[in-house]
Amino acid sequence: MMGSARIRIPFGQHNLMSNVNQFELLDQPAPSLSDMVFGFLEDGESWSESGSSEGYHENKIMDLEEEEEENNGNVEESRSFWENQHQLLHATLCRTSSLESSIRSVTKDALKERQMAGNCGCGRPMAAGCRSCLMAEVSSRLRNAGHNSAICKTKWRSSPDIPAGEHTFMDVIDNTVSKRGEVRVIIELNFRAEFEMAKASEEYNQLVHRLPEVFVGKVERLNSVIKALCLAAKKCMKEKKMHLGPWRKQRYMQAKWLATTCERATSMPPLSMGHSGRLLRPKASMLTVDLKEMLPNVHCTAATVVW
């Protein structure tokens, strides 16, 4: 049996004070596991918030840079689009044939003489001259010059894309200049106004300003102009974040001059007739009618007028 070992510990004043200090430290509550975990999470959250704040600002700067690059790209794309539309319109309008030039010359002379006359064909001042009289005059001049000219009226039904409508203009059909068949030339006396929009952009207005007031051109040429202007109208409304009206769409504009339902007339109704074809009744007030002359066998001693 082994003897127990004994260790003598000096118990002086210095050792007592040191042990007291150690006891005081040991009496302090040790940090629990819960405190350590939440403390880590708090530190982690504070670090995460700081990091996310810096990341937010960096992402914001990147978003602004990307937005600026996108805006610059949109500006360049818009500028390129309008330049292309101007070039396309210029190339389309500059091309012309001898038939178109002949019809344009007769039309121009007829309008000039009618303007110098001072009165419309119906007797009203030229400033208030009606469109039908101008078309009748121009169409008559074209026929006298040997062209198969007529006044056309197109009609089209409504569809899910466009509303119904009708339009009146002139045309010339020629069978002599082309071996492939007849050539149709459209004549529109108020062509530019057909494409004007009240709230259009400056770029669109500049494009419309290049259109002739009086259009004389083949169907193919007219179709190219319609496509260019309707595409420009769509672009204009998209840039202004506005809705494009159905009467501004390409199908509607094409229907005005190229609808399948078209009536051709070589003469307009007489000026003394109304739109329905019936003779206009003379307008006279009952105060100016002599009843005695109209009814000679009737004798009236007194008359009472009730208003």
The pLDDT score that the predictor gives to residue 294 is: 46
Alpha-carbon distances of 121 from 151, 204, 256, rounded to whole Å: 16, 35, 25
Output the pLDDT for position 128.
Answer: 47
Q: Please tell me the distance from the alpha carbon of residue 47 to that of residue 30, in angstroms, as a whole number.
A: 26
Domain that holds residue 102: 71-265
| 296 within some domain | no
Q: Are 265 and 151 in contact (CB under 8 A)?
A: yes
The pLDDT assigned to 281 comes to 46
Q: What's residue 133's pLDDT?
A: 86
Residue 260, domain member (yes or no)? yes
Residues 6+ apart with CB under 8 A from 220: none
**Percent of the chain with pLDDT strictly greater than 70:** 59
Q: Are 174 and 185 in contact (CB under 8 A)?
A: yes
- Residue 297 covered by a domain: no
Q: Identify the bridge partners of residue 155 per DSSP, sorted by sequence position.
A: 166, 261
Examine residue 166 and state whether it is found in any structural domain, yes or no. yes
CA dist 75 and 82 (Å) reads: 11
- The reply to whether 92 falls in a domain is yes
Residue 244 lies in a domain: yes
Contacts of 129 (CB under 8 A, 6+ apart): 114, 119, 120, 121, 122
What confidence score (pLDDT) does residue 161 get? 87
- The total of structural domains in the chain comes to 1
User: Looking at the whole model, is its pTM more than 0.85?
Assistant: no
pLDDT at 80: 92
Spans of the chain below 50 pLDDT: 1-2, 11, 16, 20-26, 33-51, 128, 269-295, 298, 300-307
Token pair listed for 191 = 């062509």
Q: What pLDDT is attached to residue 113?
A: 87
98-135, pLDDT tens digit by residue?
Answer: 999 999 999 999 998 888 876 666 666 555 458 888 89
Per-residue pLDDT, 302: 44
Three-state secondary structure call for residue 279: strand
Residue 8 lies in a domain: no
Dist. CA 167–CA 185, nearest whole Å: 16
